[in-house]
Amino acid sequence: MKNTPSNRPAQLAFVEVLKRAAPLNINLAEEIASLFEISLDSVYRRMRGETDFSLEEVVALCDNFNIPLEDALSPKSKMVSFRANDLSNESQSFAAYLKVLYSDLRWVRQWENAEIIYAAEDLPVFYHFFFPRLARFKMVYWNKSILGSVDLKQSFVEDIQIPDSWREEVPKIQQTFLEMPSTEIWHEDTLKSTFRQLEYYASAGYFKDINVALEVVDEIEALVGMLKAQAIEGKKYNPIKKEFTDTPYELYISDVMIGTNCVFLRSSGQNASYLGYNTFNFIQTKNEAFNRQSIGWLENLITKSEKVSGVSEKNRNRYFAQVALELEQLRKRISP
């Protein structure tokens, strides 16, 4: 049978995937022509479905545009690929993690109506970056205790200086997060893993001066104040500049155990699902079928949660009063 666009639906569908994945500031056809060193006419014949992409070309395009290979398969395929961060016990690998975090936020922001939906089993990673003592503690904990960083093995928390490569990414993550509308789903246990980590480091002697650990508690308290301010106003709050933004914010408190950190980046042009693993790391997929399952799970979780941003003042105050009590108990357990 003669090959025509009508009997190349998979190729035409893949071309649409390419268009969504390509940055808005490039000419896709010119990019492909440069990649394969072929003429624009040859590229357009492929994009119209008049000529086949070879297997090698499909693989090269997936690599170049960071597209999972299953996106080139039939929509009926049950295969789902995830991108994982390549973290090691060398501290510079954490800089790469931060770069990916910022790159993904910037990627989805190029589309209209970009937003973050975050089911928070643990403290959402973005909040750490507004509080320098808390950020240093958590970055040390992640690298020292989770990744087993050889650079930090014998160090006290106070002795560790945050590398410049980490510092460079943090302000960009802060700003992008503040500019993106967010819906967050928290649970009464969301902060407890951070409490346990800090208490463990204090009791294990990883602080030379216990007052430094208490300063971290103070910053967690300030973070809770940031969260409460956002919940009251329904807008994001910058605790560094001490001012609200115009970015919408919604907070839900779930009575149902969340079970995992799940983040959904949604926009008019492209979506992506992120699942937490290994304490703070995440895997990502843009697979449409998986995305439908992710957003369906999140929306169902929201229906079982209490909205406390802008409404439900009584329930909001009860939640934050309980967190304040737990913080005070943590402070007493850590104090000498």
Range ranked top by mean pLDDT from 49-58, 235-244, 257-266: 235-244
Q: d(Cα 47, Cα 11) in Å, to the nearest integer?
A: 8
pLDDT for 227: 97
Tokens (6 digits) for 79: 């295969």
Sign of CA dihedral 150, 152, 99, 277: positive
Is residue 91 over pLDDT 60? no
Phi, psi of 52 (to 5 degrees): -75, 145
Which of 159-168, 216-225, 275-284 shows the highest mean pLDDT?
216-225
- Among 193, 232, 235, smallest CA distance to 319 is for 232
Of 17 and 198, the structure prediction assigns the larger pLDDT to 198
Q: Which residues contact 325 (CB under 8 A, 6 or more apart)?
A: none
Calculate mean pLDDT across residues 134-161: 80
Which pLDDT value is given to residue 78?
A: 67
User: For residues 68 and 288, what is the distance between their CA atoms, to the nearest angstrom?
Assistant: 11
Question: Which residues 6+ apart lie within 8 Å of 264 measured at CB?
Answer: 116, 117, 118, 271, 272, 273, 274, 291, 294, 295, 298
Of the candidates 130, 206, 212, 218, which has an alpha carbon nearest to the alpha carbon of residue 171?
130
Mean pLDDT of 303-314: 93
Query: Is the pLDDT confidence value at 21 over 90?
Result: no
Tokens (6 digits) for 4: 């025509």
Give yes or no for residue 74 having a pLDDT over 80: no
Q: Residue 134 above 90 pLDDT?
A: yes
For the chain, residues classed under CATH 1.10.260.40 are 5-72
Candidate CATH numbers 1.10.260.40, 1.20.1300.10, 1.10.10.10, 1.10.1300.10; the one for domain 5-72: 1.10.260.40
| pLDDT surpasses 60 at 150 | yes
pLDDT-based confidence at 7, cuts 50/70/90? low
- Which of 51-60, 175-184, 229-238, 303-312 bottoms out in mean pLDDT, i.e. has the lowest? 51-60
Q: Which of 28-37, 144-153, 202-211 shows the lowest per-residue confidence on average (mean pLDDT)?
A: 144-153
Predicted confidence (pLDDT) per residue in 29-63, tens digit: 999 999 999 999 999 999 998 888 888 898 898 88
Confidence of residue 1 (pLDDT cuts 50, 70, 90): very low
Confidence of residue 100 (pLDDT cuts 50, 70, 90): confident
331 pLDDT above the threshold of 80: yes
Q: Which two tokens stand for residue 92?
A: 């510079």
pLDDT of residue 77: 59
Rounded mean pLDDT, 253-267:
91
Does residue 49 contact residue 13 with C-beta atoms inside 8 Å?
A: no
- pLDDT at 140 (0 to 100): 85
Q: How many CB atoms lie within 10 A of CB 219?
A: 19
Give CA–CA dist 327/227, Å, rounded: 15
Q: pLDDT by residue (tens digit) across 269-301?
A: 889 999 988 777 788 888 888 999 999 999 999
The CA-atom distances, in angstroms, between 176 and each of 181, 271, 281 are 10, 17, 19
Query: Whole-prediction pTM value?
Result: 0.80
> Side chain identity at 91, as an amino acid letter?
S
Quick one: the chain helix, strand, coil %, rounded to 5? 55, 15, 30
